Structure 1
Amino acid sequence: MRRTTILTLSAIAFTLSVQAQNNRHITADQAVSVAIENNSHIKMSDMDRRIANADFHQTDAVFLPQVTLGYTALTTNNPLNAFGFLLQQESVTAMDFDPAKLNHPGATQNYGTQAEAKLPLLNLDMIYARKGARAQEEMYQYKAERTKEYIAFEVQKTYTGLQMAYQARDILRESLEDVKQIHRSVTNFYDQGLVQKSDVLNAQVQVNTIESALAKAESNIHNASNGLRLLMGLEISDEAYTTDSLVQKKKIYPETTLSLFRPDILALQKAVDATDMMVKSSRMAFLPRINAFASYNLNDSQAFKFRNDSYLAGINLSWEIFSGNQNRSKMKSAQYQKNRMQEELNLHIKKEQLELDKARRDLNDSQTEINKQQINVEQAEEALRILADRHNEGLANTTDLLMAQAQFSQQKLLLSQAIMSYNVIEAYFRFLTKIEN
C-alpha cells in the first residue's frame, strides 16, 4: 500500500513537472508587445486611418487635372451631322455644296479620337473641404494611437488577473496541505479515542471544499490565459501561460492634471477642426468657381485612322446664384455639427478629469486596504499558530482550528486581491495620464 502511494505521488509530481515545462512563461511587456502587433482592434483602427488617408487623397482633384481619352465611331444620314463630319475631317470640297447631296448625304461615317482635360483654378469650397479631410485623417491617427494605449491597458489588466489566478492556486495548495495535515492529526486523535468522529468528518469536508476550489482555480488560470491570447491576437489553446509573481507596483505619482495632449482628446479636437472646415467650405460654395478646360480631337472617315486634328481650350467661370436653399441649409447643418462636436469635446474633458480624480482616490484607498490586509494576515497567522499548538495539546477543538486555518487562507486571498486591484488601478491611472512604466 505504501509503495502504491509513493508511485502515485511520483506520477503526480512528474505530471506537474511536465506541465510546468510545457507552459510558456510570458512577461507583461512581452504580452503588450505581441498585442500591439496582432490585436484585431488595433488592426481595425489602423485600417480606419488608412481609409481616412485614401479619402483625403481623393481631394487631390482640387489641384490636379482630370484627363479623359476616348474613341468614338459614328454613322448618320442626318444632313447637318453629315456635313459636320466632313468639316471635322477637313475634307469638304465644292461638290459637297451640291443641294442634292446636302439634303441627301447618305450614310456618312466619322471615327474620332478625343482627349479632354479639366484643370481646377479656383474652387475655394473644395480647398476647405480638403483641409477638413486632412483634419479627419489626423483624427483617425490619434484614435489609432489611443486604441493601442487602451489595448495595452487591457493586456496589463488581464495579465494581472492571470497573476492573481496563479496566486490563488498557490494559496489554496498551501491551505490544502495544512488542512490535510490537520485531517491526519485529527484521524490519529480519533484512533486514540481523543476526539469524536464529527471532528474527522469536519476536517474531511474542509479538504473536499479546498480541493473543489483548487480545481476552479486551475480553470481560472486557463480562462485567463485564453483571455490574454485573445487580446494578443493568438489562437485559443489549452496551454496556460506562466507569469511573473504578483507583487505590488508601488510608485509615487505627483499631482497630475488631465493632459489636453492625450490622443483621444486630440482626436476630438481634430473632429472639431474638420467640422469647422466643412462650415467654411459650405460658405465658400456661395462664391464663383474658375476652371480651365481643353480638348484635342482627331477625326477620319476610316476606322483607326488618326488625321485631321483640332483643339479647343478655354476658361470657365461659374457662379451658382441660387440653389434652392441647398447651400444655405448645408452651411447650417455643418455649423450645428461643429457645435455638437465642441460640446462633445468639452464633456469628454470633464468626464476624463473626473475619472482621473477617482483613479487617484481609488489608488489611495487600495493602498490603505493593502496595509490593513497585511496586518490581518499577520494576525490570522498568529491565531492559527496558537490554536494549532493548543490543538496538539488537546486544549482546542478541531472546529476552531479549521476555522482559524480557513480565516488565514481567506486573509491571504484578500491581500492578493487587494494587490491585484491596486495594480489594475495603477495601470488605469497611467492610462489616464499617459505616464510610462
Structure 2
Amino acid sequence: MKRVLIFTIALSFFSKVSAQETITVSKEELLQKVTEKNLQLKLANQEVEVAKAELLQTRAMYLPNVNASYTAMTTNNPLMAFGSRLNQGRVTMQDFDPSKLNNPDNISNFATKLEVQQPIYNQDMVYQKKAGQVKTDALAIKAERTSDYIKFEVAKAYMQLQLAYKAVETLENAKNTTLANKKVIDNYFKNGMIQKSDVLYMDVRVSEIESHLQFAKSNVRNASDYIYFLLGEDSNNHILKPTEKLDYQSYMLEETPKLNASRKDLQAYEKSLEAYDLMIKSSKSKFLPRLNAFGSFEMYDNKPYQFDSSGYLLGLQLSWNVFDGLKSKSEQEKYKTERIKAETELQQYTQQSQLEINKASRQVKDADNKVNLTKQALEQAKEAYRIRKNRYDQGLEKSSDLLVAETMMSQKELDYNQAIFEYNTALEYFKFLKN
C-alpha cells in the first residue's frame, strides 16, 4: 500500500509538471513582451541613455563653474609676508621699515576663497551641443530600427514554431494512417494472403515515421527556446505553443518596389552627416572670440577660522585663439574627410538596400509560386493514395505500392507546409525592408 501511495503521488506530481511545460502564446503577446525584455534592444536603448548623459556635459557652456577653497600657510618670504599682512588688513607704518620688508618675521595666513566663472559666449561649444543632440537623435532612431528588426525575428521564430507543430501534426496523422494500414496487413499475413516482406516494409515505415516525429518534436523545443532567448528569459523547461496555426498570408506586391527614403536606418545615416557638419562648424568657431565673466570673494586672517578681512574681484575676459599650431585646421580636415566617408557609405548602403528589396520581392514571388506547386502536388498525392487504397482493399494493389503512396502523401504535405513557411517568412522580411 505504501508503494502504491508513493507511485500515485509521484504520478500526480509528474502530470502537473508536464501540464506546466506547455504554454500557449499568441504572436501579439510575444511582440509586446519582446519590446520590454529583449537584451539586444535594451543595449540599443542604453546607447541612447549614454549619449544623453554625454549631452549633459554641454551644460557647462551656460552654467557657472563655482569653486570654494580654504588655504592655510606660513611664510617669511618678503613679498608673500607683506602681501599676507595687506590682505589681513594689518599693515602699519612700521611694516614699511626696509629692514622688516627685507627680513620679515614669520607670518601665518588663513584664506577662504569663493571663485565663480561664468561662460557668456563660446560659439564652438554651441555647435558641439547641437552635434551631441543630433547624435542622440540618431541613436534613438537606430534603436527604433533595432526594435523593428527584433519584431521581425520574433515573427519569424513564431512561424518556425508553427511549422514545427504542423510537422508534428502531419507526422502523427501519417503514423495513425500507417498503423491502420499495418493492422490490415498484419491480418492479411495471419491469413496467409501476403508475404512476410510486406509486413517488414510496413514495420520499417513505422520506424521511419517515429524517427521523423522525434526530430519534429525536437524542432518544437528548439523553436520555443529561441523565442525565450529573444525575450531575454530562461525557458525553465517550458515549451511554447502558438495559438494561431500556420496559414498562407495573401499580399499584393508592387511590380517595382522602391526603397523608402524615410526608413529609420537611412534617417540615422542622415543624422550622422548632420552631426559632422556641426562638428566642422564647431572647429571653425574656435577662432572666434570668447567672452567669459569671472569673480571671487576672499576672506583672510592670521588665525584659523577667523574672517576679519575680506575683498572681492569681478571682471570680464574677451579672448580669442589667434594661432594654435594648425590644430583646429587639422581637426576641420579630419571631420570633412570623415563626413565624405560617411556620405559614401550612405550611398553604398542605399544601393545595397534597394538590391535587398528587389531580391526580397523576387523571393516572395518565388515562394508564392512554390506554395501553389506544392499545393497541387499534395492534392495529386492525396488522390493517388485514395485510388491505391481503394484498389488495395479490393486486392488489386501490392502493399508496397500502398506504402509508397502513403509516404509520398505525407512528404508532400510536409513540403506544402514548408513552402507556406518560406513564403510567410519572405513576406515578413520584405515588409521589414519596406518600412
1:404–1:169 Cα change, 3 Å: same
Does the Cα contact within 8 Å between 2:21 and 2:237 map onto a contact in 1? Answer: no
Does the Cα contact within 8 Å between 1:70 and 1:114 map onto a contact in 2? Answer: yes
Match of 1:205 in 2: 204
Match of 1:171 in 2: 170
Identity %: 37
Match of 2:8 in 1: none
In the alignment, is residue 372 of structure 1 matched against residue 373 of structure 2? yes
Alpha-carbon separation, structure 2, partners of 1:18 and 1:318: 77
Alpha-carbon separation, structure 1, partners of 2:15 and 2:350: 51
Q: CA deviation at 1:408?
A: 0.7
Match of 1:4 in 2: none
The residue matched to 2:24 in structure 1 has which SS?
A: coil
Match of 2:341 in 1: 340
Alpha-carbon separation, structure 1, partners of 2:122 and 2:132: 16
Structure 1 unaligned segments of length 5 or more: list them: 1-11
The residue matched to 1:234 in structure 2 has which SS?
A: coil
Does the Cα contact within 8 Å between 1:111 and 1:301 map onto a contact in 2? Answer: yes
Match of 2:281 in 1: 280
The residue matched to 1:236 in structure 2 has which SS?
A: coil
The residue matched to 2:311 in structure 1 has which SS?
A: strand
Alpha-carbon separation, structure 1, partners of 2:170 and 2:381: 14
How many pairs align?
A: 421
Alpha-carbon separation, structure 2, partners of 1:260 and 1:293: 50
Alpha-carbon separation, structure 2, partners of 1:100 and 1:18: 100
The residue matched to 1:194 in structure 2 has which SS?
A: coil
Match of 1:430 in 2: 431
Moved more, 371-380 or 113-122: 113-122
The residue matched to 1:241 in structure 2 has which SS?
A: strand
The residue matched to 1:259 in structure 2 has which SS?
A: coil
TM-score normalised by L of structure 2:
0.93
Alpha-carbon separation, structure 1, partners of 2:287 and 2:298: 35
Q: CA deviation at 1:236?
A: 2.5
Alpha-carbon separation, structure 2, partners of 1:355 and 1:306: 76
Moved more, 233-242 or 162-171: 233-242
1:44–1:307 Cα change, 3 Å: farther
Does the Cα contact within 8 Å between 1:119 and 1:293 map onto a contact in 2? Answer: yes
Alpha-carbon separation, structure 1, partners of 2:275 and 2:313: 39
The residue matched to 1:233 in structure 2 has which SS?
A: coil
Moved more, 256-265 or 136-145: 256-265
- Residues 250-277 of structure 1 show CA distances to partners (whole Å, capped at 9, x for unaligned) of 2335565322222111111111111111
- Residues 135-176 of structure 1 show CA distances to partners (whole Å, capped at 9, x for unaligned) of 101011101111111111110000100000000000010011
Alpha-carbon separation, structure 1, partners of 2:391 and 2:425: 41
Does the Cα contact within 8 Å between 1:222 and 1:238 map onto a contact in 2? Answer: no
- Residues 171-212 of structure 1 show CA distances to partners (whole Å, capped at 9, x for unaligned) of 010011111122222222222222221111111111001101
In the alignment, is residue 91 of structure 1 matched against residue 90 of structure 2? yes
AA matched with 2:424 = N
In the alignment, is residue 146 of structure 1 matched against residue 142 of structure 2? no
In the TM superposition, 1:169-248 aligns within 5 A as 169-243=168-242, 244-248=244-248
Alpha-carbon separation, structure 1, partners of 2:391 and 2:20: 42
Does the Cα contact within 8 Å between 2:20 and 2:238 map onto a contact in 1? Answer: no
Moved more, 267-276 or 177-186: 177-186
Alpha-carbon separation, structure 1, partners of 2:213 and 2:351: 45
Does the Cα contact within 8 Å between 1:226 and 1:237 map onto a contact in 2? Answer: no
1:171–1:215 Cα change, 3 Å: same
Q: CA deviation at 1:40?
A: 0.6
Does the Cα contact within 8 Å between 1:62 and 1:120 map onto a contact in 2? Answer: yes
Does the Cα contact within 8 Å between 1:114 and 1:296 map onto a contact in 2? Answer: yes
- Residues 372-415 of structure 1 show CA distances to partners (whole Å, capped at 9, x for unaligned) of 11111100000011111222222222222111111111111111
In the alignment, is residue 418 of structure 1 matched against residue 416 of structure 2? no
Alpha-carbon separation, structure 1, partners of 2:331 and 2:265: 28
Does the Cα contact within 8 Å between 1:63 and 1:120 map onto a contact in 2? Answer: yes
1:357–1:138 Cα change, 3 Å: same
Q: CA deviation at 1:75?
A: 1.4
Q: CA deviation at 1:101?
A: 2.5
Moved more, 171-180 or 232-241: 232-241
Alpha-carbon separation, structure 1, partners of 2:308 and 2:430: 76
AA matched with 1:329 = S
Alpha-carbon separation, structure 1, partners of 2:378 and 2:104: 111
Q: CA deviation at 1:16?
A: 9.2
1:393–1:332 Cα change, 3 Å: same
AA matched with 2:252 = I
TM-score normalised by L of structure 1:
0.92
Moved more, 34-43 or 356-365: 356-365
AA matched with 1:135 = V
AA matched with 1:294 = G
In the TM superposition, 1:287-366 aligns within 5 A as 287-366=288-367
Q: CA deviation at 1:240?
A: 0.8
Match of 1:405 in 2: 406
Does the Cα contact within 8 Å between 2:95 and 2:101 map onto a contact in 1? Answer: yes
Alpha-carbon separation, structure 2, partners of 1:339 and 1:20: 60
Q: RMSD value over aligned CA atoms? A: 1.9
1:306–1:250 Cα change, 3 Å: farther
In the TM superposition, 1:98-117 aligns within 5 A as 98-117=97-116
The residue matched to 1:176 in structure 2 has which SS?
A: helix
